[in-house]
């Protein structure tokens, strides 16, 4: 588990994540790079939640292996090199799924549950997009576009509860609790849908590139502390926070790199 938060604004996408990574053995490490620039020099980034790796290979290492292919540095896969003039984010998502699921996941005897969010710009396009790739055990559906060029706003994944309560005003188990109180599931769902706009409007902020990294830092810190002080939740969210922004002209840029913070600690 982890917490991923991204905000798509007119100027690009800002991404934030914790650095805790959990493996099948039950071990939790606090030094994972969950945000990766998928191609140095191009405005493309990715971040992952779920399983910390496939077999003995971490998701961090695997995405960097994929970066070598995209850059043309892998002589065994020259056709994977991205053309800076013609590539699309959809193509990047398809290749990422092929690498992680078709090549790595199917060769692994265990079960992998991972979500990868791909943010950035297709070549020559004016606005950013957000795509997702899911590895769901023995299945992996085609990549999906979760935010097109004309869609903006916040998305979060991994540990949902803290931010669902903060932003939407209701926890993830609201329908279950409401049903115990006498409402039907349909009535509870209607309450959630009707109340969401008013809660959401009170949490909206002006989409300003200079303020968005600080807001995302707050949201990730809120989730880390929610998990830290929760009695029942496993402590699989934590460690230094990574924050990066992707813009059309500046490309991928770090605001806060978790490994640099870890050295200071």
Rounded Cα gap, residues 185 and 182, in angstroms? 9
3-class SS of residue 133? strand
- pLDDT tens, residue by residue, 213-246: 888 999 999 999 999 998 878 788 888 999 999 9
Per-residue pLDDT band for 203 (boundaries 50, 70, 90) equals low
Among the listed residues 73, 28, 46, 48, the one whose alpha carbon sits nearest the alpha carbon of residue 244? 46
β-partners of residue 44 are 120
Using the predicted structure, report yes or no on whether residue 158 has a pLDDT greater than 90: no
Rounded Cα gap, residues 265 and 243, in angstroms? 17
What is the mean pLDDT of the segment spanning 172-187?
A: 83
Contact at 8 Å (CB) between 59 and 53?
Answer: yes
Domains of the chain (ranges, CATH numbers): 3-171+209-264 (3.60.20.10)
Rounded Cα gap, residues 168 and 155, in angstroms? 12
């Amino acid at each position: 588990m982890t917490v991923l938060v991204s905000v798509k604004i007119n100027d690009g996408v800002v991404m934030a994540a914790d650095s805790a990574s959990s493996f099948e053995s039950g071990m939790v490490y606090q030094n994972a790079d969950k945000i990766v620039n998928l191609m140095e020099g191009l405005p493309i980034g990715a971040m992952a939640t779920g399983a910390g790796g496939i077999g003995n290979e971490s998701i961090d290492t695997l995405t960097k292996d994929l970066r070598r292919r995209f850059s043309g540095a892998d002589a065994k896969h020259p056709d994977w090199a991205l053309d800076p003039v013609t590539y699309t984010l959809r193509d990047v998502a398809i290749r990422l799924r092929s690498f992680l699921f078709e090549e790595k996941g199917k060769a692994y005897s265990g079960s992998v549950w991972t979500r990868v969010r791909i943010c950035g710009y297709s070549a020559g396009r004016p606005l950013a997009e957000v795509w997702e790739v899911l590895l769901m055990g023995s299945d992996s559906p085609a990549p999906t576009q979760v935010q097109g060029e004309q869609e903006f706003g916040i998305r979060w994944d991994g540990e949902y509860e803290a931010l669902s309560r903060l932003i939407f005003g209701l926890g993830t188990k609201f329908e279950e609790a409401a049903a115990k109180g006498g409402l039907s599931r349909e009535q509870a769902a209607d309450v959630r849908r009707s109340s969401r706009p008013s809660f959401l409007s009170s949490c909206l902020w002006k989409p300003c590139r200079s303020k968005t990294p600080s807001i995302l830092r707050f949201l990730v810190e809120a989730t880390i502390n929610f998990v830290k002080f929760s009695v029942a939740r496993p402590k699989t969210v934590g460690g230094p926070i990574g924050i990066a922004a992707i813009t059309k002209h500046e490309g991928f840029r770090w605001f806060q790199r978790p490994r640099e913070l870890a050295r200071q600690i």
